[in-house]
Amino acid sequence: MDEIFHITESQQFSRNDLDELFNQADAMETLVKHRGVTDTLKDKVMVVLFYQPSTRTRLSFETAMSRLGGSYVSTENAMEFSSHAKGESLEDTIQTVANYGDVIILRYHKEGGAKRAARVSPVPVINAGDGPGQHPTQSLLDMYTIRREFGSFEGLNITLVGDLKNGRTVHSLAYMLAKYPIGKICLVAPPSISMPQGLLDYLEKHGIDYNQSDSLAAVAPHADVVYSTRLQKEYFDDPREFEAVQGKYVLSQDIVDTMREKSIILHPLPRNEEIPYVVDHDPRARYFPQVRNGLYMRMALLNKVFGR
Ligand code: NCD
């Protein structure tokens, strides 16, 4: 990896990078369980710059940094409470905060934000979501969760369902899955919010078997992983378009009952109606352990960014 280790998109990781991160995340779990904290990053300060709401991503990065002995400064609502509100460009803000910290965690409301930031930043920028673009650290933890559950990715049948057009988590996850000899990706979405063509081309180019379906009930019984996502309401221009797709592809208990015994259900969260609460009691539901894995993975990632 480059000397300044910006993390902007899933495609940049090699399989070796990923395998190393998975192993390090395992080590972080042991560390957290036995000692709680360490001091590997005690000389480092992380700047957290979020232009969109977040619960898990921001708090898990902050927790990860705290548990590694480092510190952080945080703007959780940069839209209103940073100089963005006074018309400052992203580039100027980045060149400002880079003077304070050693790494920048950026969530931006527009696609390409992380790459713009990386171009001007003298310190590593980590993409914590750029509009409907990508969310590579989410897919790291998603991949880590799948690996923990199945031991490998080989031959797995993975269903991605929901807003595949605007959902950055499914974009990053599909790019990352394409690094491994998985079995198949099933893409389930209404045609108006289906997977972008560029991503389908990428899957094809990398020899990944995929299909598109409009029936969750038809594909769920064959899936090892069902990865459900919410409709990204904030990116719909026309409320009527949103209403036209709302409530489709709910992973009801009836559908879950048709799933393989050893399959799992993941979701990046937050969820809306796409996974009813009753499904939480099903042994295949793994979205809360998935959240916890995010802490271990982000600890591993921060260490790696600093070569520790
Ligand atoms: C996701 C995000 O912000 O992209 N949440 C997360 O980071 N876990 C998913 C979403 O907002 O739907």
Quote the pLDDT of residue 149: 98
Determine whether 135 is an active site residue.
yes
Of the candidates 6, 135, 165, 168, the residue annotated as catalytic is 135
Alpha carbon distances (Å) from 276 to 167, 225, 251:
20, 17, 7
Burial label for 25, CB within 10 Å (0-12, 13-18, 19+), is buried
What is the 20 CA–ligand 1 centroid distance (Å)?
Answer: 25
Confidence grade of residue 4 (pLDDT, cut at 50, 70, 90): low
Q: Residue 1 above 50 pLDDT?
A: no
DSSP 8-state secondary structure symbol assigned to residue 195: P
Mean pLDDT, residues 5-22 taken together: 96
Quote the pLDDT of residue 3: 54
What are the sequence ranges of the domains in the chain?
10-135+293-305, 136-291
DSSP 8-state secondary structure symbol assigned to residue 243: H
DSSP 8-state secondary structure symbol assigned to residue 222: G
Quote the pLDDT of residue 64: 98
d(CA 20, CA 300): 9
For residue 150, the SS3 value is helix
What is the 133 CA–ligand 1 centroid distance (Å)?
Answer: 11
Residue 78: name the closest of 49, 57, 100 by CA: 49
- Whether the CB of 293 sits within 6 Å of ligand 1: no
What is the 169 CA–ligand 1 centroid distance (Å)?
Answer: 7
CATH topology identical between 10-135+293-305 and 136-291: yes
| Helices vs strands, H then E, count in the chain | 12, 9
Q: Residue 239 above 80 pLDDT?
A: yes
Q: Helix axis angle, 113-120 relative to 90-97, nearest 10°?
A: 50
Which ligand 1 atom is the nearest neighbour of the CA of 269? 8
Whats the size of the chain, residue-wise? 308
What region, left, alpha or beta, does residue 156 occupy, with left being phi > 0 and alpha being psi -120 to 50 degrees? beta
**Residue 154 near residue 181, CB atoms below 8 Å:** yes
Q: Whose CA is nearest to atom 7 of ligand 1?
A: 57
Of the candidates 33, 34, 35, 86, the residue annotated as catalytic is 86
- Whether the CB of 109 sits within 6 Å of ligand 1: no
Determine whether 281 is an active site residue.
no
Residue 111: name the closest of 87, 127, 122 by CA: 127
**Sign of the alpha-carbon torsion through 67, 68, 70, 74:** negative
- Whether the CB of 138 sits within 6 Å of ligand 1: yes
- The tokens for 216 are 């969750």
- The tokens for 260 are 């393989």
**Residue 71 near residue 46, CB atoms below 8 Å:** yes
Q: Residue 212 above 70 pLDDT?
A: yes
Q: Each residue of 128-183: pLDDT tens digit?
A: 999 999 999 999 999 999 999 999 999 999 999 999 999 999 999 999 999 999 99
Q: Residue 19 above 90 pLDDT?
A: yes
Assigned superfamily of 10-135+293-305: Aspartate/ornithine carbamoyltransferase (3.40.50.1370)
| CATH numeric code, 136-291 | 3.40.50.1370
Of the candidates 8, 44, 57, 67, the residue annotated as catalytic is 57
Alpha carbon distances (Å) from 152 to 22, 155, 184, 270, 271:
11, 9, 14, 27, 27
Which ligand 1 atom is the nearest neighbour of the CA of 163? 12
Q: What is the pTM of this model?
A: 0.97
Quote the pLDDT of residue 81: 86
**151 alpha carbon, distance to own chain's centre:** 20
DSSP 8-state secondary structure symbol assigned to residue 136: H
Q: Each residue of 182-202: pLDDT tens digit?
A: 999 999 999 999 999 999 999
d(CA 53, CA 147): 28
Quote the pLDDT of residue 172: 98
Q: Each residue of 124-142: pLDDT tens digit?
A: 999 999 999 999 999 999 9
Query: Which strands, in side-by-side order, build the sheet including 184-188?
Result: 210-213, 184-188, 157-161, 225-228, 264-266
